[in-house]
Chains A and B, each alone.
Chain A
Amino acid sequence: MFQVRIHGRGGQGVVTAAEMLSVAAFDEGRHAQAFPSFGSERTGAPVVAFCRIADKEIRLREPIMEPDALIIQDPTLLHQVDVFAGLKKGGYILINTNKTFEELGLGDFLRDWPHDRLCTVPATDLSRKHVGRPMPNVPLLGGFAAVSSVIKLESVVMAIKDKFSGKVAAGNIAGATEAYDIVRAEMDEARRQEAAHA
């Protein structure tokens, strides 16, 4: 079972992202369970949503306390919420930002982390560019497909078409695809550097 925890703020589509991720996994014929960290969510307040993906029925109903992957939709949460709580060693981290991990102040914390599991993508910028709104959730799913290989980009595209239509769907598909390409390039670069160090 692969477990993803998504952190963001109310209004950024955190819950929708987890739901769409589960739809993408379902479209691949897998079992998936998405659920929010039920609360009285308000715009701007920290929000958490979860998604489990497995090849058999998922019965577990506890919150995800030891995720295999983290998607952080808002980097300002890094200083407010313990987003890394329980993250498995060597787990995937994808952050919506146009800064580097060093610039975010995470350099020391993640020094020994496998570099090809750490990725950033300017998802809000991509959403503004392609959809005209600052909604980082869907581009991040494209980025997640690239960093984790848990789901295919085509499945994310199917989930987008399932959720949206017309121009919004087209814009989100473009945003997710560009995020996918950016993350793939980052990972290739990280692997090249690690090979050079080795």
Chain B
Amino acid sequence: MLKQCEGSHAVAEAVALCRPEVICAYPISPQTHIVEGIGEMVKSGELKDCEFINVESEFAAMSVAIGSSATGARTYTATASQGLLFMVEAVYNASGLGLPIVMTVANRAIGAPINIWNDHSDSLSQRDCGWIQLFAETNQEALDLHIQAFKLAEELSLPVMVCMDGFILTHAYERVDIPTQEQVDAFLPPYEPRQVLDVNEPVSIGAMVGPEAFMEVRYLAHAKQMQALERIPQLAEEFKKVFGRDSGGLTHTYCAEDAETMVVAMGSVLGTIKDTVDEMRAAGHRIGVLGITSFRPFPLVAVREALKNAKRVVVLEKSLAVGIGGIVSTNVRMALSGLNLHGYTVIAGLGGRAITMKSLTGLFEKAGRDELEPLTFLDLDWKVVNKQLEREKQVRRSGPAAEAMLRDIGAVAARNY
């Protein structure tokens, strides 16, 4: 049924349709509306046979999720930013133990400086934790990916993060098609655990593994992600058969056929990029887009295939690997190894900095002329940066940098308006 609603609400409905049995979460912006919504459904009885557990922290949330998933319960949680970092030890355990938990990450920057706005630093900090990471472009895709995530997670016995841009998607009201219970039931079978803590058939989960088998157990995690690489496109096909729309998959291309310049990105910024590409195409630029939906496993072959005929590749990412540049671009470069094309990394939208069509147009035109630096920080205010660098050169006790830079631009400039 078509509905105009908040992204968080759409995800809450999708999760409820997946018949979760345990939800444990700790509130943190911008994820809060999702678990609030599910909590209300549990309380009202709309979502039956589901226990909503209030936990005292994110670390507890993931610990409870591990426990409940190990008993064979379909388990869901959600977090963001510092919350994800706080649960990290348990996050690695969930994947190491092979427990198919599904978690929404409402993507938000990581402090310091403290910032509640959107970028991809939180999820991408966990790129090597063993979880599958799927990035949604729209609220419809966020909704759909949750339904696919439970199936993928449970088939492979691996946890899945569904990543959606905090605020930009979670707090946006837009049109979504909410499936029926019958459709979801037809797509997602009941959970059949590979391992379960059962008093009648006792096992232990979480053995200490020494050098004699640690590498083998770890390799198995990699092997499962390689299986996911095959399953993700199949699941998108199966999903389309039941629900009638394209959602998920490893990657998506747009206007890519004859593109000389290819822009690579993840998440909701793809919409703004596509609008920019439409305008630039109309002006005669041969430019196209590659959206990466599955960041883990990383689809090396699909990415190479999509980019190999381009002259240049611009990876625009909402994350920064301090000391080298991009995170997504480093992965993309690996897919392009041996190919002779220009590669550009663009760091954009950190901490909620708006990514505008105007800035993107200027950026892509510059890339088209191959005048872009290898590493660009989109719309960086160099005046403020240079002033601070100069201050640090002149004065030993230059004081806290963030406070000084906020003063330099005027305190109200911390917001858009």
Interface of A toward B, CB cutoff 8 Å: 7, 18-19, 22-23, 26-27, 31-40, 46, 48, 58-63, 65, 81-83, 85
Contact = CB atoms under 8 A, between A and B. Distances in A.
Contacts of B26: none
Given A33-B172, A39-B116, 5 more contacts: A38-B30, A38-B118, A59-B138, A62-B354, A82-B417
Given A62-B356, A65-B356, A36 B171 contact: yes
Contacts of B275: 59-60
B174 A58 contact: yes
Contacts of A19: 6, 173
Given A38-B30, A59-B274, A22 B417 contact: no
B357 interface: yes
Nearest to A30: B175
Contacts of A48: 416-417
A49 B188 CA distance: 37
Contact of B172 (A27, A31, A35, A85): A35
Contacts of B269: 61
B274 A61 contact: no
A61 B272 contact: yes
Given A62-B355, A63-B354, A63-B416, A38 B167 contact: yes
A74 to B, nearest CB: 13
A28 B30 CA distance: 30
B268 interface: yes
A39 B417 CA distance: 10
Given A22-B174, A59-B272, A35 B417 contact: no
B237 to A, nearest CB: 22
A23 B176 CA distance: 12
Nearest to B352: A38
Nearest to B4: A26
A22 B173 contact: yes
A38 B6 CA distance: 14
A67 to B, nearest CB: 12
A16 B415 CA distance: 20
A155 B175 CA distance: 16
A37 B416 contact: yes
B168 interface: yes
- With most chain B CB atoms within 10 A of its CB, the pick from A26, A31, A35 is A35
Contact of B357 (A7, A36, A60): A60
Nearest to B108: A38
B190 interface: no
Contacts of A82: 417
Given A38-B30, A62-B272, A82-B417, A32 B4 contact: yes
Interface in B1-57: 2, 4, 6, 30
B189 interface: no
Given A32-B173, A36-B171, A38-B117, A22 B4 contact: yes
A36 B417 CA distance: 12
Contacts of A40: 116
10 contacts: A22-B174, A35-B167, A35-B171, A38-B117, A38-B118, A59-B272, A60-B271, A61-B355, A62-B354, A65-B356
Nearest to B359: A62
Contacts of A18: 173
A139 B254 CA distance: 42
Question: Which of B167, B354, B417 gathers most chain A CB within 10 Å?
Answer: B417
Nearest to B414: A39
Q: Which of B2, B6, B271 has the most CB of A within 10 A?
A: B271
B272 A33 contact: no
B352 A34 contact: no
Contacts of B270: 59
